[in-house]
Amino acid sequence: MEKTSLSQWNPDYSSNLDFFDSQNRRLVTIMSQIQSIYESGSGNFLPAIKQLIHFLTQKFHEENLAMMIAGYPDRSKHIEEHLAFVTKIDDFLMDFIISDPDLGHSLLTYLQQWVSEHIAIQDVQFGQYLNNRTDLKKRVFDLHQELNKPPLLYVVNA
């Protein structure tokens, strides 16, 4: 598997929505980490799989809300793909638990397919939809800002 195919952001993946593109760049970074683990032969994919699960739980939640707010007509199909992805990552977690020797290759192949079939097509189409509707784009951007605010910390005097 070619290193540059996973470790570099490709402009073809861009939705032209900076806040979503930054999330997808983060996914490419996680994929690069998984590729490094695979190439090292260590087989310790668990930290990267956990990072992937944590990251995508937030990303998918935010993206699903954005599609709902925008009234995106292909939302159901897009969400089905997210659910299928989550199920597949659960399968990879099980493969780690049972020490599947093909886990690294299978995981990298699946993630590369996800980038080329979901991000480069479905996310780009959603970006085109939003970019043609500036009022909705602003509402989605505001949602992103609100969801990504740091939590308030309360100081309690003892």
What is the C-alpha to C-alpha distance for residues 136 and 69, in angstroms, rounded to an integer? 8
For residue range 98-121, list pLDDT tens digits in order: 998 999 999 999 999 999 899 999
Residue 72 lies in a domain: yes
Residue 80 lies in a domain: yes
128: tokens are 């085109």
| Structural domain count, the chain | 1
Residue 58 lies in a domain: yes
Residue 46 lies in a domain: yes
Residue 151's pLDDT is: 59
Q: What is the mean pLDDT of residues 10-36?
A: 87
Residue 81 lies in a domain: yes
Residue 158 lies in a domain: no
What does residue 97 show for φ and ψ, rounded to 5 degrees? -60, -40
Inform me whether the pLDDT recorded for 6 exceeds 70.
no
For residue range 57-68, list pLDDT tens digits in order: 888 988 898 888
For residue range 139-158, list pLDDT tens digits in order: 777 776 777 666 555 556 65
The residue written with tokens 């480069």 in the block is 120
Residue 2 lies in a domain: no
Question: What CA dihedral angle connects 49, 52, 54 and 55, to 10 degrees?
Answer: 170
Q: What is the mean pLDDT of residues 75-96?
A: 93
Amino acid at 7: S
What does residue 152 show for φ and ψ, rounded to 5 degrees? -75, 140
Residue 155 lies in a domain: no
Domain CATH code at residue 126: 1.20.120.50
Q: Tell me the average pLDDT of the chain.
A: 85
Its domain, for residue 83, covers 14-147
Q: Which of 93, 113, 112 is nearest to 32 (CA)?
A: 112
